[in-house]
Structures are given as C-alpha cells and as structure tokens.
Amino acid sequence: QVELVESGGGLVQAGDSLRLSCAASGDTICISAMGWYRRVLGKERELVASITSGGSTNYAFSVKGRFTISKDNAKNTLYLQMNSLKPEDTAVYYCNADVTNCPTGFDDFWGQGTQVTVSS
C-alpha cells in the first residue's frame, strides 16, 4: 500500500557528507510519520531520526548535531542529510513510514535499505 525506495548510500571517508533519499508512493495520505533506521552488522536495528506529518523531529543521541531529517511533501520524499560521518555510522539505512492514519491492518512499511560505509 506504501512503497518506499531509498537511494544515496555509498562509500565515503570519515568527515564526509551524504544525503539519503526515500521516495514514497502509494497510499501516502495514510502516513503519519516517517523515519530513518539503521542496522549495524551484528546489532539490532536502531532509530536514527524521525519526523511527523506536522514536522516534529527526533534524533538518536549519536547523530544529534550531525544529521538532519527533512521531507518534501510535494515530492513525497524523505531526506537524511548526514554530515561529519564517522566509521561508526557504517550500516544499512532503512526508510520507514508509519501508516496509522488509515485502518489498513498494517502499522508501517519499510524500504529495501541502502548501504552507507564510512572509512577511517
């Protein structure tokens, strides 16, 4: 019902920047909030940043001051601007959309993920 496609990942050096994009399609009117999650090899998936339909944002402590989440409603696209990247940021980054605005039987949808690798 909601399809999410991430892009923008890649291999960079410590201190560099990347901007991830997540294009949403389908029943986007059902989306109440969106977020970026990441999974580090051997660890559980963790929330990086989230944004509600009203524009309220939240960030993981480890990325505050370095990452910025934003969205372009006209383009149905979510962004994650990542500055001052560290090797510890290396992970697969996933886009998530909460769809609790609609009684669809699903709480959220996930993208396929995009790899971010930061070398030292």
Using one digit for the tens of pLDDT, what is the confidence trace for 90-109? Answer: 999 999 999 988 987 888 99
Q: Under a CB-based contact definition with an 8 Å cutoff, are residues 108 and 2 in contact?
A: no
Residue-wise pLDDT for 23-70, tens only, equals 999 999 999 999 999 999 889 999 999 999 999 999 999 999 999 999
Query: Cα separation of 17 and 105, whole Å?
Result: 38
Mark 64-102 as b/e (b = at least 16 C-beta within 10 Å).
eeebebebeeeebbbbbebeebeeebbbbbbbbbbbeee
